[in-house]
Amino acid sequence: MSAERYARIRHFLSQRQPSLTLCLEQLHKPHNVSAIVRSCDAVGVYEVHAVWNEKPEFRKSTAMGSENWVYTKEHSCIEDAVDHLKTQDMQVLVTNLSENAVDFREIDYTLPTAIILGQEKHGATQEAVAAADQDIIIPMVGMVQSLNVSVAAALILYEAQRQRQQAGMYNTQQLTEQACQKMLFEGGFPRLREICDRKGLPYPHIDSRGHIDEGANWWKKIQLTGKNL
């Protein structure tokens, strides 16, 4: 990996926000999921959570490679997803037009936050609404009372980014060094990453020059065929 690429990856990792995430509930349109992940990358979301019967294929022209920089964690049901998020002390919000909903700009996004976005046609399920801590809405004055889900996601994420920037949360690295090392290797050495995954080898350490810092034994295992491992 070149020094320039190493510096660029290090810079964006230093601004990743693991305490901000989305939970996609039964979204099925590839262009929507791709656009959402692209927005997540743009504001520094580290990982997106998802509940779906069948994972949509990313639209390369829409995602623009962002799917390689934002992890996706899948859950079997929305209740499991919310339970997982709450074990991380996250406030769980859901986009839902209800009497109890508040303007999305009234939320304090400097707190650990997860936002549930419901399926394109029907919105969030009753189970998602029941499991969330707060309903939020994006105020509108037109005839139509909903936005495209990817547009809604971008609006909410950029409000979260605005608040977090004002609070200085992008000035201090929030990711652990272990998490940074994983993404440095995956993003800096994609072909070697494929070999490690195929052979079940541990990822190597990346030094401050962007080089793999491992001994001859690791390289030998990389070069051996699967039959000889």
**The predicted structure's pLDDT at residue 59:** 52
**The predicted structure's pLDDT at residue 229:** 42
| Chain mean position to CA 64 | 15
Q: CB under 8 Å to 43, separation ≥6 — which residues?
A: 17, 20, 157, 158, 160, 161
Does 138 appear as a known binding residue? yes
- Number of neighbouring beta carbons within 10 Å of residue 77: 14
Scan for tokens 């979204």, then name that residue. Answer: 27
Six-digit token pair at 151? Answer: 């547009």
**The predicted structure's pLDDT at residue 110:** 98
pLDDT along the chain (229 residues), means of 10: 90 95 91 92 95 67 65 93 96 93 97 94 89 93 80 96 97 95 93 91 94 92 63
Domain total in the chain: 2
- Residues 202, 212: contact at Cβ < 8 Å? no
**The predicted structure's pLDDT at residue 65:** 62
Based on the fold, state whether residues 34 and 66 are members of the same structural domain: yes
- Asked whether residue 94 is assigned to any structural domain, the reply reads yes
> Strand (E) positions, the chain?
20-25, 47-51, 71-74, 91-95, 102-103, 113-117, 134-137
Scan for tokens 């995956």, then name that residue. Answer: 186
**The predicted structure's pLDDT at residue 228:** 41
Based on the fold, state whether residues 131 and 56 are members of the same structural domain: yes
Q: CB under 8 Å to 61, separation ≥6 — which residues?
A: none
Q: Which residues constitute the domain of residue 89?
A: 17-166
Last residue of a domain, one of 140, 166, 192: 166
- Asked whether residue 127 is assigned to any structural domain, the reply reads yes
Six-digit token pair at 35? Answer: 């656009």
C-alpha 174/C-alpha 112 separation (Å) is: 12
Distances (CA, A) of 38 to 47, 48, 64, 67, 220: 12, 11, 7, 7, 37
Does 155 appear as a known binding residue? no
Scan for tokens 């936002």, then name that residue. Answer: 115
Based on the fold, state whether residues 30 and 59 are members of the same structural domain: yes
User: pTM for the full model?
Assistant: 0.87
Based on the fold, state whether residues 189 and 76 are members of the same structural domain: no
Based on the fold, state whether residues 162 and 190 are members of the same structural domain: no
Does 20 appear as a known binding residue? no
